[in-house]
């Protein structure tokens, strides 16, 4: 019986040329064009009949590379869906063997604001994350980096985050995903200069405070664990990062620590940095701190409510523990 559309579907699968099929399959599954060697191999085998189109798709979907595509897709989809529901993702979980992006991406996407948003360090960001930002903020996204990269849908600016070519209060929100720890460090891995400027992170945060409007939000994620200089980035514990944010003139509005355990990524409200070292539990950080900061303003003190809010913050511990998320 062919009236149920199955023959039509089979014919459609055969319609594109082998060249078109291989190109589309790679772009759809691995989210990239095929490399030359893979393209030639697939075309030769398809021509001689030792590979079918279904088997090519099977090979792509079962490749290790697709595992990463899937993790990042899941992370971006979860963050975007939470934003649509008006939820700020908390107590996220992700499987073992993954890096910190699977936590950082949904955490940040769920807190994305409307308006003009600056993404700092976009040049080496995951395309799945950038695509989600472009989809959520059509026309409102500016990317800044010292390195250059093509990024359709994003207004890109090549600049040092410590000295930005933007007016004061130009942005409603700034996003800093695993980037601040690299400022002033040895950035040769990104094709940039090697520096050893221990004040680089502070200078960058002060500059970002300048370009953020009063009432704006800075979402920052950083590797967490035993404090130390790794040459290409600097890791800190919760106290170290929180002090840095305060020195740059920011309030911590919300903060959540996550740790990579045997069972995967889990929220760590009582996180202890002892023995938590970068790269020892998975492919990247062993723990990550996700924070939402707001520019500190003296003006707050002028209103009774501002005074109360400021007093409450001063009395609260610098690292606020996040209450278990109620379903």
Taking each continuous run of H as one helix and of E as one strand, the counts in the chain are: 10, 10
Binding mask 170-189 for ligand SAM (x = CB under 6 A): -------xxx--xx---x--
Residue 318 contacts ligand SAM per CB under 6 A? no
Six token digits for residue 305: 């409510």
Mapped onto helix, strand or coil, the DSSP state of residue 99 is coil
Burial class (CB in 10 A: 0-12, 13-18, 19+), 304: exposed
Q: Which of residues 30-59 bind ligand SAM (CB under 6 A)?
A: none
Give yes or no for residue 194 binding ligand SAM (CB under 6 A): no
Closer to ligand SAM by Cβ: residue 42 or 103: 103
Residue 129 to residue 143: CA distance in whole angstroms = 13
Question: Among the candidate windows 17-25, 55-63, 155-163, 295-303, which touches ligand SAM by CB under 6 A?
Answer: 155-163
Close Cβ partners of 313 (under 8 Å, ≥ 6 residues apart) = 251
Closer CB to ligand SAM, 13 or 194, in the complex: 194
For the chain, the C-alpha Rg in angstroms (whole number) is: 23
Per-residue DSSP letter, 37 = H
Q: Is 313 exposed, middle or buried (0-12, 13-18, 19+ CB in 10 A)?
A: middle
**Taking CB under 6 A as the rule, does residue 125 contact ligand SAM?**
yes
Selected from 71, 99, 126, 237, the binder of ligand SAM by CB under 6 A is: 126
User: Which tokens in the block code for residue 146?
Assistant: 């010292």
Options 103, 123, 219, 293; binder of ligand SAM; rule CB under 6 A: 123
# binding residues, ligand SAM (CB under 6 A)? 21
Q: Out of 46, 117, 146, 268, name the contact with ligand SAM by CB under 6 A.
A: 146
For binding to ligand SAM (CB under 6 A), which residues are involved?
101, 121, 123-126, 129, 145-147, 160-162, 177-179, 182-183, 187, 190, 192
């Amino acid at each position: 019986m062919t009236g149920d559309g199955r023959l039509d579907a089979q014919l459609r699968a055969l319609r594109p040329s082998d060249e078109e099929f291989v190109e589309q399959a790679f772009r759809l599954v691995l989210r990239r064009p095929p490399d030359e060697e893979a393209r030639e191999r697939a075309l030769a085998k398809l021509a001689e009949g030792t590979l079918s189109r279904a088997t090519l798709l099977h090979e792509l979907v079962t490749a290790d590379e697709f595992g990463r595509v899937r993790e990042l897709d899941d992370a971006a989809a979860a963050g975007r869906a939470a934003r649509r529901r008006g939820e700020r993702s908390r107590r996220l979980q992700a499987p073992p063997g993954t890096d910190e992006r699977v936590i950082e991406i949904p955490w940040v996407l769920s807190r994305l604001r409307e308006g003009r948003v600056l993404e700092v360090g976009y040049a080496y960001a995951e395309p799945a994350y950038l695509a989600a930002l472009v989809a959520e903020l059509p026309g409102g996204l500016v990317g800044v980096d010292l390195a250059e990269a093509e990024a359709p849908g994003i207004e890109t600016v090549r600049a040092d985050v410590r000295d930005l070519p933007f007016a004061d209060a130009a942005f409603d929100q700034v996003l800093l995903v695993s980037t601040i720890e690299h400022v002033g460090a040895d950035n040769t891995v990104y094709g940039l200069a090697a520096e050893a400027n221990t004040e680089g992170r502070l200078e960058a945060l002060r500059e970002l405070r300048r370009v953020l409007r009063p009432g704006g939000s800075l979402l920052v994620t950083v590797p967490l664990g035993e404090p130390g200089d790794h040459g290409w980035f600097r890791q800190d514990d919760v106290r170290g990062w929180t002090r840095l944010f305060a020195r740059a003139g920011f309030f911590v509005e919300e903060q959540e620590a996550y740790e990579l355990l045997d069972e995967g990524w889990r929220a760590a409200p009582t996180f202890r940095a002892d023995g938590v070292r970068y790269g020892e539990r998975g492919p990247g950080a062993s723990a990550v701190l996700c924070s939402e900061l707001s520019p500190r303003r003296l003006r707050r003190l002028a209103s009774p409510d501002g005074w109360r809010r400021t007093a409450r913050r001063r009395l609260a511990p610098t690292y606020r523990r996040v209450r278990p998320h109620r379903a």
